[in-house]
Amino acid sequence: MSCDAQGRPRRFALTAGQAGDCPHAPALLAPDLRPGQRVLADKAYDADYVRDQLRQAGAEAVIPSKKNRTQVIEHDEEIYKNRNQIERCFNRFKRFRALASRYEKNASTFLAMVTLGAILMWL
**pLDDT reported for residue 19:** 81
**pLDDT reported for residue 106:** 87
- Rounded CA-CA distance 3/11 in Å is 7
Beta carbons of 10 and 16 less than 8 angstroms apart: no
Average pLDDT for runs of 10 along the chain of length 123: 91 84 88 92 92 95 92 91 90 85 83 92 93
- Rounded CA-CA distance 71/47 in Å is 12
Beta carbons of 54 and 61 less than 8 angstroms apart: yes
**pLDDT reported for residue 73:** 92
Beta carbons of 14 and 107 less than 8 angstroms apart: yes
Counting runs of H as helices and runs of E as strands, what totals does the chain give?
6, 4
∠ at Cα 86 (17, 82), nearest 5°?
145
User: Which one-letter DSSP state was computed for residue 67?
Assistant: T
Count the residues in the chain. Answer: 123
Neighbours of 55 (CB within 10 A): 12
